[in-house]
């Protein structure tokens, strides 16, 4: 495989991550407007919000079986337009059944999209022979910032959901579809070479053992409990507990997204130099420290410092969890990633209700300590992120590619 083709494949996949980040942010940041448009009651809203990640989990399971027949690139190529069209559908309807149908399609397609994107990312990283997964997730964070900003513009100018969503989809849909021409199923193209090096069998043919994958599933769940705590409760916490203004209460999530972008943009270099285990451990400790600072903060500005630390810490965990699954199951990485991806949605489903229930029953400062403890469990499983010496890297990952041809310039 040529360097140029890998470079184009990497750029195309980054576009896909960016588009997905923007689409998801446009949906979740306009939930109050969606509720008002369709007259969804406060009692019914949690049902709609829970249905999306549940259906996304179904989509991820379906993708596990689908990629046994078609390459992940094809799943990604066709699921991303469905996500964008479903987003437009959310803004175009007027009846409750219409938004239910659109959100259902969005959820199913997002599950397939998330799974196939990370399958391609892990297989490309394996072909490159060094850490590049954090860069893809940085593109997702950038898309999230852009999407949230566009949502703010739509809300500020009091634009309808359809008017807000349609132009964005009209730009992103053809961009994603054109970029999909350069997707690279790197694992499939290097499989024959790996089979030879393994003597036609060995670890590359090993099935996905639940006992081996379980630690990563727990890490993924706890990371998304932490992430959903920030996305759902940061504004309320700053305003109700730390006494900030309503305007200032919107800042922590933006800070969290920006620091997530920064951390992921530089995280691959950290993995290459210090190794995945060290980066995950440092990220876990930073995230736990962030929750501790938030829980103990005497005022809003210290609270925002805590959310800054949270963004810098949590941002490295999820991409490295997907990468670790690919390393643990080199011959069955697609299956491992599809199953692992389900726990993304499990954490999202658990996180927000958990913190809300604890906050109501106890207090919100105490509630912030629970995701802190859960995130710290990652330290117990940190060795799961270590690459095996006979794969790509020893203690640390190799700083150069190993199977992309001569003349690599560290793309």
What's the N-to-C CA distance of the chain in angstroms? 14
Q: Which domains does the chain have, with CATH numbers?
A: 1-184 (1.20.1250.20), 208-397 (1.20.1250.20)
Asked whether the CA dihedral 294, 296, 302, 308 is positive or negative, the reply is negative
Asked whether the CA dihedral 74, 77, 83, 86 is positive or negative, the reply is negative
Would you state the pLDDT for residue 206? 52
Place of tokens 């499989």: 191
Pick from 180, 56, 177: which is nearest to 112 by CA?
56
CA distances from 47 to 42, 52, 100, 228, 231 (A): 10, 9, 10, 17, 18
Interaxial angle between packed helices 72-92 and 3-28, expressed in degrees from 0 to 180 and rounded to the nearest 10? 30
Provide CB contacts within 8 A for 310, sequence distance 6+.
226, 230, 256, 259, 286, 287, 290, 291, 294
Looking only at Cα atoms, what is the longest distance across the chain? 65
Q: For residues 369 and 304, what is the distance between their CA atoms, to the nearest angstrom?
A: 16
A 10 A CB-CB count for 199 gives: 8
pTM value is: 0.87
Would you state the pLDDT for residue 252? 84
Q: Are 303 and 294 in contact (CB under 8 A)?
A: yes
- Here the tokens at position 387 are 């690459």
Q: For residues 384 and 406, what is the distance between their CA atoms, to the nearest angstrom?
A: 32
Q: For residues 10 and 135, what is the distance between their CA atoms, to the nearest angstrom?
A: 10
Q: For residues 321 and 319, what is the distance between their CA atoms, to the nearest angstrom?
A: 5
Q: Which DSSP symbol is given to 248?
A: G
Pick from 371, 356, 358, 319: which is nearest to 341 by CA?
319
Would you state the pLDDT for residue 217? 96
Using only C-alpha atoms, the chain has a radius of gyration, in whole angstroms, of 21
Give pairs for 25-29: CB < 8 Å, separation 24+. 25/143, 25/144, 25/145, 25/146, 25/147, 25/148, 25/151, 26/87, 26/147, 26/148, 26/150, 26/151, 26/164, 26/165, 26/168, 27/87, 27/90, 27/106, 28/231, 29/147, 29/148, 29/151, 29/152
pLDDT tens, residue order, the chain (411 aa): 678 899 999 999 999 999 999 999 999 888 888 989 999 988 898 898 899 999 999 999 999 999 999 999 999 999 999 999 999 999 999 999 999 999 999 999 999 999 999 999 999 999 999 999 999 999 999 999 999 889 888 888 989 999 999 999 999 999 999 999 999 997 544 443 443 334 333 333 457 888 899 999 999 999 999 999 988 888 888 888 999 887 687 788 888 989 999 999 999 999 999 999 999 999 999 999 999 999 999 999 999 999 999 999 999 999 999 999 999 998 899 999 999 999 999 999 998 889 988 988 889 999 999 999 999 999 999 999 987 643 433 344 444 433 333 333 333
């Amino acid at each position: 495989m040529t360097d140029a083709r890998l470079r184009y494949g990497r750029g195309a996949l980054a576009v896909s991550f960016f588009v997905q980040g923007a689409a998801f942010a446009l949906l979740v940041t306009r939930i109050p407007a969606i509720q008002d448009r369709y007259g969804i009651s406060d009692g019914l809203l949690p049902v709609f919000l829970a249905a999306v990640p549940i259906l996304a989990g179904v989509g991820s399971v379906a993708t596990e079986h689908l990629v046994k027949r078609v390459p992940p690139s094809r799943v990604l190529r066709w699921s991303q337009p469905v996500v964008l069209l479903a987003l437009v559908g959310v803004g175009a309807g007027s009846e409750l059944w219409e938004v239910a149908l659109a959100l259902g399609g969005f959820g199913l397609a997002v599950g397939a999209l998330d799974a196939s994107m990370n399958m391609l990312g892990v297989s490309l990283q394996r072909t490159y022979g060094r850490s590049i997964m954090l860069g893809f997730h940085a593109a997702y964070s950038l898309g999230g910032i852009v999407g949230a900003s566009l949502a703010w513009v739509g809300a500020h100018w009091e634009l309808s959901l359809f008017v807000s969503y349609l132009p964005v989809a009209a730009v992103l849909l053809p961009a994603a579809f054109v970029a999909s021409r350069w997707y690279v199923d790197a694992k499939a193209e290097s499989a024959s070479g790996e089979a030879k090096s393994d003597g036609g069998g060995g670890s590359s043919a090993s099935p996905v053992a639940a006992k081996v994958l379980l630690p990563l599933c727990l890490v993924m769940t706890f990371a998304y409990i932490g992430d959903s705590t920030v996305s759902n409760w940061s504004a309320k916490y700053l305003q109700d507990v730390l006494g900030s203004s309503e305007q200032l209460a919107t800042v922590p999530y933006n800070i969290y997204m920006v620091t997530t972008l920064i951390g992921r943009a530089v995280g691959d270099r950290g993995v290459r130099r210090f190794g995945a285990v060290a980066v995950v451990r440092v990220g876990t400790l930073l995230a736990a420290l962030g929750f501790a600072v938030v829980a103990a903060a005497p005022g809003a500005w210290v609270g925002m410092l805590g959310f800054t630390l949270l963004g810098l810490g949590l941002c490295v965990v999820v991409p490295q969890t997907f990468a670790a699954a690919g390393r643990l199951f080199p011959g069955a990485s697609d299956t491992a990633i599809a199953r692992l991806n389900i726990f993304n949605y499990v954490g999202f489903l658990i996180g927000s209700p958990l913190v809300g229930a604890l906050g109501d029953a106890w207090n919100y400062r105490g509630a912030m300590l629970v995701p802190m403890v859960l995130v710290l469990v990652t330290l117990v499983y940190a060795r799961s992120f270590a690459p095996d010496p006979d794969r790509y890297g020893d203690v640390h990952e190799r700083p150069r590619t190993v199977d992309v041809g001569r003349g690599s310039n560290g793309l």
